[in-house]
């Protein structure tokens, strides 16, 4: 039977209230059957369940046959800061607070980080119930190297910011994992093709573990062309890292070639695009070198 109320321990002067416990719960990314028995038990017994979407939480509980006996509150991007402060006060009263997002682990591109940080600062116990992860699932099925990888979250929405972020990752040797929305997928793949090279191997993982799961593998430019269609669902993108030791084109030579083509009458922007494509270097890298007037890193 569930025991609500404060948690206490005896001492010489009576009972001393203990701090509560924050539980970060990994939610299924597509199939309710992936939920662990521990998560079922935790959902049923938590004093407070903070959910990114309370309607989805209640649907999940119904599918699992779990009765939510604790208080259910919303915890999403717009109210995360204020709600985190409220939940910390609840934790300080000795309650158990369980945080669950729509899919995956709280704090990984989803609400949870701010509350975790505040709880740690207050000396409150923080634990996790591990569950399915779109990041590691996509990495596993991508067919790309998985011994070393980095998670980059969502690329910036604005084209300029996205280009700068990707240019900084052009020589990243680890396999990279991104999240992206379906309606921005084509733009992001094009930007990655420019930053990493058109033939850089990648995999677009769509609707992982769900009925219409699909994994598309190929070069970035090829995948960008495919994404021009009506792509739907949750997207996780896996991109191969830069291969260390690859022969790098001499930027001085490429800048000189751009200058020769401009002198011959070709527009500079067109010359940069053509030379970069022929040399297999990111357009942004050559563009920056030309406009600096120097190839010094």
Find, among 25, 62, 18, 29, the residue nearest to 46 by Cα: 25
Q: How far apart are CA 215 and CA 206, in angstroms?
A: 6
What's the CATH code of the domain at 64? 3.40.1010.10
pLDDT for res 196: 92
Whether residues 25 and 94 share a domain: the answer is yes
278: number of Cβ within 10 Å: 11
| Number of domains making up the chain | 3
Within a domain: 230 = yes
Given 239, 262, 282, the domain boundary residue is: 239
Quote the DSSP letter at residue 34.
G
Find, among 143, 141, 70, 60, the residue nearest to 103 by Cα: 60
Given 194, 212, 239, the domain boundary residue is: 239
Structure confidence by residue, pLDDT tens digits, 177-218: 999 999 999 999 999 999 999 999 999 999 999 999 999 999
Helices (H), the chain: 37-45, 54-64, 80-92, 113-121, 134-142, 159-168, 185-196, 220-226, 251-263, 268-279, 283-292
Within a domain: 264 = yes
Whether residues 225 and 283 share a domain: the answer is no
Task: Tell me what the mean pLDDT of segment 27-32 comes to.
Answer: 92
Whether residues 143 and 72 share a domain: the answer is no
Whether residues 49 and 70 share a domain: the answer is yes
What's the CATH code of the domain at 229? 3.30.950.10
Higher pLDDT, 273 or 112: 112
Mean of pLDDT over the chain: 89
Given 132, 166, 193, the domain boundary residue is: 132
Within a domain: 245 = no
User: Of the ranges 78-92, 137-151, 240-254, 267-281, which one carries the lowest mean pLDDT score?
Assistant: 240-254
Whether residues 12 and 49 share a domain: the answer is yes
Q: Which two tokens stand for residue 188?
A: 């992001």
Structure confidence by residue, pLDDT tens digits, 31-80: 999 999 999 999 999 999 999 999 999 999 999 999 999 999 999 999 99
With residues binned 3-state (H G I as helix, E B as strand, rest as coil), the percentages for the chain, rounded to 5, are 40, 20, 40
User: Of the ranges 69-83, 167-181, 276-290, which one carries the lowest mean pLDDT score?
Assistant: 276-290
Within a domain: 216 = yes
Task: Tell me what the mean pLDDT of segment 90-105 comes to.
Answer: 96
Within a domain: 28 = yes
Within a domain: 126 = yes
Whether residues 160 and 262 share a domain: the answer is no
Whether residues 71 and 182 share a domain: the answer is no
Within a domain: 37 = yes
Q: How far apart are CA 222 and CA 126, in angstroms?
A: 44
Structure confidence by residue, pLDDT tens digits, 132-150: 999 999 999 999 999 999 9
Q: Positive or negative CA dihedral for 20, 134, 237, 289? A: positive
Whether residues 139 and 121 share a domain: the answer is no
Question: Is the model's pLDDT at 124 over the cut of 80?
Answer: yes
Whether residues 190 and 112 share a domain: the answer is no
Q: For the chain, state the CA radius of gyration.
A: 25
Q: How far apart are CA 12 and CA 290, in angstroms?
A: 76
Three-state DSSP class for residue 77: helix
Tell the residue number behind the tokens 């191969």, with chain if given: 240
Task: Tell me what the mean pLDDT of segment 103-122 comes to.
Answer: 93
Q: How far apart are CA 131 and CA 71, in angstroms?
A: 23
Whether residues 99 and 148 share a domain: the answer is no
Q: Which domain holds residue 58?
A: 8-132
pLDDT for res 122: 95
Q: How far apart are CA 188 and CA 193, in angstroms?
A: 9
Within a domain: 186 = yes
Largest CA distance in the chain: 92
């Amino acid at each position: 039977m569930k025991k609500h109320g404060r948690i206490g321990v005896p001492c010489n002067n009576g009972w001393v209230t203990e701090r509560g416990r924050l539980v970060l719960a990994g939610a299924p990314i597509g199939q309710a059957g992936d939920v662990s028995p521990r998560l079922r038990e935790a959902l049923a017994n938590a004093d407070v369940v903070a959910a990114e979407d309370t309607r989805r939480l209640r649907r999940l509980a119904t599918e699992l046959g779990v009765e939510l006996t604790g208080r259910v509150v919303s915890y999403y991007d717009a109210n995360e800061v204020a709600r985190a402060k409220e939940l910390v006060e609840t934790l300080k009263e000795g309650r158990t607070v369980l945080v669950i997002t729509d899919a995956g682990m709280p704090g990984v591109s989803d609400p949870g980080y701010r509350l975790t940080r505040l709880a740690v600062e207050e000396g409150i116990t923080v634990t996790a119930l591990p569950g399915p992860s779109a990041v590691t699932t996509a990495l596993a099925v991508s067919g790309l190297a998985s011994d070393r990888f980095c998670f980059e979250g969502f690329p910036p929405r604005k084209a300029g910011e996205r280009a700068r972020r990707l240019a900084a990752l052009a020589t990243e040797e680890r396999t990279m994992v991104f999240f992206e929305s379906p309606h921005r997928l084509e733009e992001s793949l094009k930007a990655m093709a420019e930053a990493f090279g058109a033939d850089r191997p990648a995999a677009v993982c769509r609707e992982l573990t769900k009925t219409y799961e699909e994994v598309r593998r190929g070069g970035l430019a090829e995948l960008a062309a495919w994404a021009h269609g009506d792509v739907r669902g949750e997207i996780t993108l896996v991109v191969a890292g830069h291969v260390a030791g690859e022969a790098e084109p001499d930027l001085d030579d490429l800048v000189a070639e751009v200058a020769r083509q401009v002198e011959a009458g070709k527009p500079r922007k067109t010359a940069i695009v053509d030379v970069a494509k022929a040399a297999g270097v990111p357009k942004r890298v050559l563009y920056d070198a030309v406009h600096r007037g120097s190839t010094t890193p």
